[in-house]
Amino acid sequence: MARTKEFDPDAALQKAMELFWERGYEATSMSDLVEHLGIGRASLYATFGGKRELYLKAYERYLENGVDFVGLLSQPGPVLPAIRRLVELYLEESTDPATAPRGCLVVNTAVEVAPHDPVVARRVEQNWDFVETALTSALTRAKAQGELPAGKDPRALARLLLTVLQGMRVIGKSSDNPARLRDAAEQALRVLE
Amino acid sequence: MARTKEFDPDAALQKAMELFWERGYEATSMSDLVEHLGIGRASLYATFGGKRELYLKAYERYLENGVDFVGLLSQPGPVLPAIRRLVELYLEESTDPATAPRGCLVVNTAVEVAPHDPVVARRVEQNWDFVETALTSALTRAKAQGELPAGKDPRALARLLLTVLQGMRVIGKSSDNPARLRDAAEQALRVLE
DNA sequence: CTCTTTTTGGAACGAACTGTCAATTTCGCT
DNA sequence: AGCGAAATTGACAGTTCGTTCCAAAAAGAG
Residue pair B100/B173 in contact (Cβ under 8 Å)? The answer is: yes
Pick from A159, A126, A164, A158: which is nearest to A141 by CA? A158
From residues 40-69 of A, list those within 7 angstroms of strand D by Cβ: 40-43, 46-47
End-to-end CA distance of chain A: 64
Please check whether residue B3 lies inside any domain of the structure.
no
Protein CA at B8 to nucleotide C1' at D12, angstroms: 45
**pLDDT confidence of residue B2:** 72
**Residue after which a domain boundary falls, among A43, A59, A75:** A59
Please check whether residue A103 lies inside any domain of the structure.
yes
Using the Cβ of B167 and the Cβ atoms of chain A, whether some distance falls under 8 Å is answered with: yes
Which CATH number is B128's domain given? Answer: 1.10.357.10
Question: Is the domain of B127 the same as that of B36?
Answer: no
Instruction: Assess whether B30 (CB) lies less than 7 A from strand D.
Output: yes
**pLDDT confidence of residue B1:** 65
Predicted confidence band of residue A1 (pLDDT cuts 50, 70, 90): low
ipTM value:
0.95
Using the Cβ of A103 and the Cβ atoms of chain B, whether some distance falls under 8 Å is answered with: yes
Protein CA at A40 to nucleotide C1' at D7, angstroms: 10
Residue to substitute from A129, A159, A174, A182, interface B, most B β-carbons within 10 A: A174
Question: Is the domain of A102 the same as that of A150?
Answer: yes
Q: How far apart are CA B54 and CA A61, in angstroms?
A: 36
Nucleotides, chain D, CB distance < 7 Å: 4-11, 16-22, 25-29
Question: Is the domain of A75 the same as that of A133?
Answer: yes
Please check whether residue A2 lies inside any domain of the structure.
no
Q: How far apart are CA B68 and CA B73, in angstroms?
A: 9
Which CATH number is A47's domain given? Answer: 1.10.10.60
Predicted confidence band of residue A95 (pLDDT cuts 50, 70, 90): very high
The answer to whether the Cβ–Cβ distance between B156 and A26 falls below 8 Å is no
Predicted confidence band of residue B6 (pLDDT cuts 50, 70, 90): confident
Per-residue pLDDT tens digits for A15-65: 999 999 999 999 999 999 999 999 999 999 999 999 999 999 999 999 999
The answer to whether the Cβ–Cβ distance between B115 and A107 falls below 8 Å is no
Residue pair A44/A5 in contact (Cβ under 8 Å)? The answer is: no
**Burial group, residue B35, by CB count within 10 angstroms (0-12, 13-18, 19+):** exposed
Residue pair A14/A23 in contact (Cβ under 8 Å)? The answer is: no
Please check whether residue B170 lies inside any domain of the structure.
yes
Q: How far apart are CA B64 and CA B59, in angstroms?
A: 9
Per-residue pLDDT tens digits for B11-37: 999 999 999 999 999 999 999 999 999
Using the Cβ of A139 and the Cβ atoms of chain B, whether some distance falls under 8 Å is answered with: no
Question: Is the domain of A49 the same as that of A101?
Answer: no
Question: Is the domain of B21 the same as that of B99?
Answer: no
The answer to whether the Cβ–Cβ distance between B103 and A125 falls below 8 Å is no
**Burial group, residue A54, by CB count within 10 angstroms (0-12, 13-18, 19+):** buried
Please check whether residue B74 lies inside any domain of the structure.
yes
Say which of A124, A176, A190 has its CB closest to residue B174. A124
Please check whether residue A4 lies inside any domain of the structure.
no
* Chain A residue with the nearest C-alpha to that of B152: A187
Question: Is the domain of B170 the same as that of B91?
Answer: yes
> What b/e string do you get for B147-158 counting C-beta neighbours within 10 Å, with b at 16 or more?
bbeeebbbbbbb
Say which of A173, A175, A186 has its CB closest to residue B111. A173
Q: How many CB atoms lie within 10 A of CB A3?
A: 5
Across the A/B interface, how many CB contacts are shorter than 8 Å? Answer: 165
Structural domain for B35, as ranges? 9-62
Question: Is the domain of B35 the same as that of B120?
Answer: no
Instruction: Assess whether A7 (CB) lies less than 7 A from strand D.
Output: yes
Question: Is the domain of A42 the same as that of A136?
Answer: no
Question: Is the domain of B93 the same as that of B183?
Answer: yes
CA angle, corner B20, sides to B60 and B31, nearest 5? Answer: 120
Instruction: Assess whether A26 (CB) lies less than 7 A from strand D.
Output: no
Instruction: State how many domains chain A has.
Output: 2
Q: Give B96 to chain A, closest Cα distance, Å.
A: 14
Residue pair B23/B2 in contact (Cβ under 8 Å)? The answer is: no
Q: How far apart are CA B108 and CA B68, in angstroms?
A: 19
Per-residue pLDDT tens digits for A135-188: 999 999 999 999 999 999 999 999 999 999 999 999 999 999 999 999 999 999
Question: Is the domain of B49 the same as that of B124?
Answer: no
Of residues B113 and B193, the one with the higher pLDDT is B113
Predicted confidence band of residue B3 (pLDDT cuts 50, 70, 90): confident
**pLDDT confidence of residue B4:** 84
Question: Is the domain of A37 the same as that of A70?
Answer: no
Predicted confidence band of residue A96 (pLDDT cuts 50, 70, 90): very high
Using the Cβ of A119 and the Cβ atoms of chain B, whether some distance falls under 8 Å is answered with: no
Please check whether residue A3 lies inside any domain of the structure.
no
